[in-house]
Structure 1
C-alpha cells in the first residue's frame, strides 16, 4: 500500500493541523522543506513544508510560489502559520483546490524537524511492508514455475496483485496466457487488424529501473505496454499489460512486473530445457533403431510409444546427405552472395519442420534425426506404391526448403525393406547403400532407390574379389595416374562416351567439347589402357573396370 496525504495527516504531529482543501488521496513519496524560489527542488508526489518567508504580505509572490509547487506535481503543501503568514488567503485556497493540491495550515509551534522525522518513518515503514509483500509475490511467482505450473498461473498472480490486464506471448507472438487483456489490442500489435500501433515514448513517472525497458504502443487513444522476456540474451517472448486510463504504475507495481518478467524467463528456460531433453531422447532412440539391430520387444515398443512413435506400422527409410552449393557468377568467377548462410542448428530445424509438414500433408507418420551432415527419416509406408509416396513426400520438402535455404541440396538414398514391419536397421543399411551408389553416379540432389541398384550391388560384390581387383588396377593404373597428374577428366570422358553408345557428336555436345578435342581424348584413353574403343570386348572390360573402381571409391 502507498502512503497518502490522509495517512500523513493521521500522524500525532499533525493533530492541530487545519486542512484547507480536501485533496487527500494523493500519494506521498517524500517530504521536504522548501522556501521560495521553488525552481526544480520539488519533485513528483512530494509533501512540501514552508514558512512562507519571502512572501509575507505579498499575495502575488505567495500565489507564484504555490503555482510553482503545483507545477512540480507535489501532493501537498503545508504552511506554518503565525509569523510570516497568519492565514492562507482564500484565492490561494481556491488555486490549490482547482489543481488538486492538498493545502494545510500548521501551528507555528510545531517543529518541522519533528514532522519530517515522523513522515519519513511512516514512508520507511510502508516501504518495508511493500518490499515484504513484493518479496512474497516474487517467491509465489518462482514457486509457480518450479512447481510445474504455467504462464496462465503467472498472469493470474499478476492480475490479482496489480489489477492490471496482462497477457504473455512467445517469441513468435503466439499468445500463451491471457488475463483480461483485450484480444483486439493483441491482434493490432501482431498486425492482424487494420488499425496501426505506434511506438511512443514511455510515459511512466518513476525512477524504477524497469521503466527503461518498457515499450509503449499507442492504439487509437489507448496505450499498451510491452516488456521483452529475455534469457541468456535470447528473446523468449513478451509480457503485455494495459493499466486502466489514469492508473499509475507505482514502484510496487513495477517491482511485481519485474518479478513476473523473471518468472516468465524461468518458465521459458525450463520449457526449452524439457524440449531439448525430449529432442535428445528421440535422436538417441532413432539412431539406435537405425544403426543397431535391436530386438523389437515390448519394452522397446513401450519406450517408442512414450516418445510418440508407433513402430507397429511399416516404414520407408530415407537417408539424405546435406550440402550447401554456392552458385558461381559466370561473369566474375566467384561465389554469389545470394546464398543464405545457416548454422547446422537452424538448418536442421528447417529440415525437421518441412519433414513434419510434408508428413502432415500426406497424412503419414514421420520420425526424423540428424547425424554428421545426414538426415535420417522414417516415413510411414504405403505399400506397394511406396515409391510414389516417397517422391510426393520429397517434392513437398525440397520445394519449400529451396525457398528457405538458398543453395541447399540433398542426395537421398531410399529403401522400403521387403519385410515391411519392424525392419528399421535393415532398411537403414539399404538406404545408406543406395545413397552411396547414387552420389557416385548422379548429380547433386538426386534420389536413389535401393530397388534400382541391383547392378551396382552385383558389381560391388565382384569388387571384393582379389583377382578382379588386380585386373581393374592393371587396366586403369596409367589412366588414373594421368588424370591425377594432368588434372584431366579422361575417365569421366569415357563414362559419357559409353553413356551415349560411342556416339562422338552427342558426347562432344554433352561435354561441351570440340569434336577434335574429344577424339584426342579418346586416343589418349586407348594409348594409356592399351585397349581399343572399337573392340566390344575391350570396351566391356574398360567399362566394367571403371565402374568397379568408382564403386570402390564410394566404399572407402
Structure 2
C-alpha cells in the first residue's frame, strides 16, 4: 500500500525535478518506500521503492553507472532519481536506453534539492496514504460487523466486499456448499458444489504469490484446469465454520488494502456463523424439549400445545407411528481404533445426531411424510406420519432409506428399533412412545443389534411380562433357575443361552451343536448339567415347557429392570 510516482512529482519539493524516462508509467508505478542508495546496491533496495542517488563513485565510469542502474532495476524499484551537478552532470544515453527498455521511471533532480527534504515529504505522503487506507478499511470493518448485527445475511457481506475490492467473492459452509456469492464464476460454483464433474486441486499457501501479508500463511489455492481461485478458512473457537473464496483477475489486485478487507470479511462471516449456530442450537433445544415432553409425559393436547407445535414446524393433527432406536457400532468396524468406545469418541455425539437427524428428515421428504425426531442418552425418538397402509410396511420403507444412507456416512453404525402399532388414533404420542420402548426392550433380548421389533409382534412377551409380576410365578421361576444362574455366574458359562438355542432347534442336538460351534459331546455335557442343576428332564414335555417358560420370564424380568 503506497502512493504513485505521479503523486511524488506533484510535491512542492519536486518542482524542479525532470522526468527523463518512463513518463507513460507515472500513474501505474507504486511507491511503498524511499531511500538513498549508492553503489553497491546488493540487497538494500526492495520492490516498489523510490531510490535517490548522487551517482558517487560512478560519475567517471559509465560501465559502473550502468551496472548500478541495472541492479536497481533488478531489485524491482519503481523509480530512480539522480541528483546532477556534482558527481554526474548529464545522464548518459546508454542509461536512458536501459531505463526505457525496463520501463524504469528515471528522474533528474538539481543538486541543490536536499535529499533529506525529499525523504521527509515523500514518507509523509506515504504515511498519509496509509492512514487514509487504514481509516477506510476500519470503516469497512465496522460496516461488515454492523451488517451481521443488524440481521443481514451472507449475500450482503459479499456485496460489501465486492464493492470495495472489485474481486468476485463467495462463501461456502463447512460442507463446502456455496451459500452466497457476488459475481463469482458460476462454473466454479457448480464444480465446487459437485453439480458438474471436473478435476480441481487444492494447493497449500506457500505456493501463493503474496508473502508479505499476515494472511499469507492461511491462503489456499484451487487450481481448476488453467483457472484458479483462492480460499480462506472461516474459523470460530478453532472450529471450521466455512470458507471465503475470492477470484481476482490478477494477483496485482491482492493489495495490502484488499487483503485487509478480506480479513475483516472473515471476521464478519465467523460472527454470522456463530449467530446462525446459536439460533439453530436454540431452535434444536426447543424442539428437543418439546418432543421429549410429548413422548414421555401424558400432556393434554390443548390449543396452546398445538400452537406451540406449529411455531416449531410440527403438525400434531396428523396420525403418527413412533419409532425408538438405540445406536450401536459393530465392533469389527471399529477394531482399527480400539473398539466401540473410541469409535463413539471419534464421531462426537453432536456430529452423529446431526447425521441421523438429517437422514430422518431426508427419508421423510422422499416419502412425502412428516417427521419429528429427537435424541436423549443414545436413544433416538422418531414420530413418522402414518397413512392407510400397514404400519410395518411404512416403517420398514422409512428405516430402509435412513439406514442405507447412514451406513455410507457412519461406518459400522447399527440401530435397534422398537416400533409402535398405529391404530388410526390422534394425539396418542405418549402411548405410542411407551409401545415403541416396550417393543425395543423385548427385541433387545431376542435379536442381534440392528434388528426391528414391532409392537404387534410382542403379544406373547407382553402376556409373559404381565405374568412375571405375580409373586407366586416369581417364586416358581426363582426356584427353577437359581442354581443354573449361579452356576453361569461363578463358572463364566452360558448354560441358559445353550438351552435357548437347544429349544429353538426343537431339541435337535446336531443343529444346536452347529449353531453353538460345539462338539456334540460338549453339548451333551452341557445339557446334562442343565438337567442336574434344575432337576428337570429335557426329554419330559412338561419339564421342558416349565424350563422354557421360566427362562423367558426371567429374561423379560431383566428387560424390565
Correspondences of 1:55-204 after superposition (within 5 Å):
55-187=58-190, 192-194=196-198, 196-197=200-201, 199=203, 202=207, 204=209
CA distance in 2, matches of 1:328, 1:207: 47
Query: Which residue of the partner structure matches residue 3 of structure 2?
Result: 3
* Aligned 8 A contact 1:206 1:250 in 2: no
Q: Deviations over 1:34-74 (max 9, x none)?
A: 11111111111111111111111322222221111111111
Tell me, yes or no, if structure 1 residue 441 matches structure 2 residue 428: no
| CA shift for structure 1 position 27 | 1.2
CA-to-aligned-CA distance 1:332-356 (integer Å, 9 cap, x gap): xx97999895332333233223222
1:339–1:406 contact (8 Å) kept in structure 2: no
Aligned residues: 554
Q: Map 1:98-497 onto structure 2 (within 5 A).
A: 98-187=101-190, 192-194=196-198, 196-197=200-201, 199=203, 202=207, 204-205=209-210, 207-219=212-224, 221-245=226-250, 247-327=252-332, 342-418=347-423, 420-497=425-502
Aligned 8 A contact 2:334 2:412 in 1: no
- CA, structure 1 residues 280+136, in 2 after alignment: closer, same or farther (shift >3 Å)? same
Task: Indicate how the Cα distance of structure 1 residues 554 and 207 shifts in structure 2: closer, same or farther if over 3 A, else same.
Answer: same
1:118 deviates by 1.0
TM-score (norm 2): 0.92
Give the Cα separation in 1 of the matches to 2:98 and 2:271: 51
Deviations 1:428-454 (A, max 9, x none): 011111111111122222211111212
Other structure's SS at 1:317 match = strand
The equivalent position to 2:47 in structure 1, one of 44, 48, 51, is: 44
- Which consecutive unaligned segments of at least 5 residues does structure 2 have? none
Q: Equivalents in 2 of 1:189, 1:411: separation in Å?
A: 37
Q: How far 1:394 sits from its partner (Å)? A: 1.7
CA RMSD of aligned residues (A): 2.7
2:552 is matched with 547
Q: Displacement, 1:233?
A: 2.1
- Give the stretch that moved more between structures: 290-299 or 55-64: 55-64
In 2, the alpha carbon distance for the partners of 1:220 and 1:516 equals 71
1:220 deviation in Å? 5.0
Is residue 56–residue 84 contact of structure 1 (8 Å, CA) maintained in 2?
A: yes
Distance in structure 1 (CA, Å) of the matches to 2:413 and 2:225: 46
Instruction: Provide closer, same or farther for how the CA distance between residues 30 and 187 of structure 1 changes in structure 2, counting only shifts above 3 A.
Output: same
Q: Structure 1 residues 363 and 328, CA, compared in 2 at 3 Å: closer, same or farther?
A: closer
TM-score (norm 1): 0.93
Do the aligned partners of residues 281 and 535 (structure 1) sit closer, same or farther apart at CA in structure 2, a change above 3 Å counting?
same
Kept after mapping to 2: 8 A contact 1:79/1:104: yes
Q: 8 Å contact 1:338–1:406 — kept in the other structure?
A: no
1:122-153 deviation per Cα after TM superposition (whole angstroms, max 9, x unaligned) = 11111111111110011111111111111111
